[in-house]
Amino acid sequence: MKPGAFFICGTDTEVGKSLVTAGLLKSLSRAGAVAGVVKAVQTGPELHDQNIYARACPGAAAQTLLHFQCPASPHLAAAAENAVIDLGRLAEEIERAVAGQGLTLIEGSGGLCSPLTDEATFLDLMIRLGYPVVLVIKNSLGAINQALLSVSALKNSGLAVRGLIFTRVSPAQAGEGLIQADNVKTIAHRTGLSVLADLPFLPALAGGRGSPPAWAELADHLAAAALELSNDRAAESAGHSREITAFDREHLWHPYAPVVNPPQVWPVARGAGNYLILPDGRRLLDGMASWWCAIHGHGRPELAAALREQAAVLPHAMFGGLTHEPAVRLGQALLKMVPPGLDKIFYCDSGSVAVEVALKMALQYWQGRGRPNKVKFIAPLGGYHGDTLGAMSVCDPVGGMHALFKNHLPQQIFVPRPAAPFGEAFNPDSTLELERAAARHHGQCAGLILEPIVQGAGGMWMYHPDYLRAAARICREHDLLLIFDEVATGFGRTGRLFAADWAGLTPDIMCLGKALTGGTLTLAATLATRTVAEGLSRGGGVLRHGPTFMANPLACRVALASLELLSGSPWSERVAALEQELRLGLAGCAASPAVAGVRVLGAIGVVEMKQPVNQGRLQKFLVEDCGVWLRPFGRLIYTMPPFTVTRPEARRLTGAISRAVEEGWA
């Protein structure tokens, strides 16, 4: 089991980080641990810190990834050489270093908020990587303020602070000993963190030079800290993981999995950037965006901050008879994004409930219009709309996941799956069956529900926008409401903000969910045109639905922060780059005789096998051998990653899928 890595960061510059890092390295090496050091960015004419590591522990694995000559903050030093630090590439280089040298100490540059680029600080890099932190504190006047601010920033960013190391970088002045002792006591008490070491001033090491005995003395002072760090992840995580998985196996249900003799699950300790981090320190590249929700990656401080701020003010208030600012602000943001004409918003608990609400809206609309016999729905085969009863009734009744319940569900009217693939020529005859069904059944049908452009969990089928245009025309001609289920496709997944945008359409009703909160909390929304809302409301009618947690302020506030993140990011360019990488990386799979087809659109890449995959065997290979998290099902191996994955990360995902196909793991 690999012990992982720790950030060695300071409350400011010149607090003794390099000495602490070098001393820990020497102490670890002296104890026989496989350890190394990575200095992410060094500024100044010399490789100062690299030299300190070499003096302290000759021959130990140590590397500096970026070096700029100007002795300034990293972004300014880089700019002096007409360079810009690439945060994603730097994170990847650190991960490669960590993977190759056992327990790794990653030394920071200056304080936590030392700028790496015009937009990003060292803290942003730390958040992206997610390793635990050892905070180095200069033990002098002002230490309490600096330490508490730094610990607060780390915890608010979702980073685990493993402990504190206090340093004295100059001889104590008269009366300073009392202050230093109080610093240690007060900071430990107020933060609740362990004091790993309280180092004395070692004059022989001033300036980073010194004799072997001086370095040995420093290593002695840090021996207990080094032992604690080296044992920390291996011992604690192993016991913790066993406890978690044992209880889970005995008592917890997982989706679409047997509860008796369940398949293997992997415990997750936290998320950081595009990765899920296991208790033993292993990092799995999240190729699923945690079921298509975490479009910004994990551990985004903006979302965590929104959640904290709202929790301190108003965690929940019933929406019956009350309103609140997060619901209103979110509604304003949504109406600026969705296709024009969608004017009324009903907040829901989940995507399945959003579909339930959409069906109820359509039924009550026709009741308000004096046509109560319009109670059925038309839906294409291959569709999936959720797991609640109404939503199940419009899912594929044959090849879908809900055939067990077919005798208990309303009987709907199904038409063939949209036949024209996305990107190929559209055959107008492909909508004839839909037109016939609408002409034959419009008197008893309230509407047509479908997933625009991409049928998701029903088979990851991607079809031509002209099918949607034809469907809209057919609905108009036969008095049917057009319902778009964009729970999976909404918020940029297909390369357009909404899949409806590919056809330039506004449906009568639209369902949203999944990525709405960026994967932070469950929230969905069903939007309708004013025509639908007014028709439903005729004669004083009200929509017969009202969840307890409708428009929950926490979820609404986080959703607003997520939409602001999306709008303020180059999401379209990112998705386009992802699509390019997925096309290139998966193209070779089409040559395999075991593969039925390869499909890519936006941030969705699919390899369809000719036979169902062995999910347990394949998933174990992907986790243990490839370090990626994917969730194959049926005959599909697919990825729908966060939009923030880099090109190298996208290649890692496609490489894992390609290996699975080539080596026969599927």
- CA–chain centroid gap for 640, Å, is 11
Measured distance between the N- and C-terminal CA atoms of the chain, rounded to whole angstroms: 27
**Sheet strand arrangement including 595-601:** 595-601, 604-609, 636-639
Catalytic-role residue among 131, 275, 347, 384: 384
Beta strands at 342-348 and 524-529: parallel, antiparallel or unpaired: antiparallel
Gap between the Cα atoms of 354 and 348, Å rounded? 6
Nearest CA among 522, 206, 185, 481 for reference residue 359: 481
CA 609, 611, 616: angle at the middle one, nearest 5? 90
User: Residue 87 in contact with residue 120, Cβ under 8 Å?
Assistant: yes
Catalytic residue list contains 155? no
Residue type, 547: P
Residue 29's alpha-carbon distances to 56, 65, 108, 401, in angstroms, are 11, 22, 21, 55
Q: Strand 604-609 and strand 595-601: pairing?
A: antiparallel
Tokens 């890519």 label which residue? Answer: 600
514 is catalytic: yes
What stretch of H or E contains 379? strand 376-380
- Asked if 626 and 659 touch (Cβ cutoff 8 Å), the reply is yes
For the chain, helix, strand, coil in percent to 5 are: 45, 20, 40
Q: Which of 39, 463, 514, 638 is catalytic?
A: 514
Query: Rounded to whole angstroms, how far apart are CA atoms 313 and 302?
Result: 17
| 53 tagged catalytic | no
**Cα–Cα dist 182/168, whole Å:** 14
Please name the helix (run of DSSP H) or strand (run of DSSP E) that holds residue 150, with its range, or none.
helix 143-156
Residue whose pair of structure tokens reads 């960590």 in the numeric block: 98
- Active-site choice (124, 286, 466, 485): 485
CB 390 within 8 A of CB 407: no
Give the integer Cα–Cα distance in Å for 643 and 519: 13
Dist CA 535 CA 369 (whole Å): 6
Is 256 a known active-site residue?
yes
Q: Answer whether 509's CB lies under 8 Å from 528's CB.
A: yes
Which residue in 182, 185, 256, 625 is the catalytic one? 256
Residues classed as catalytic: 256, 384, 485, 514
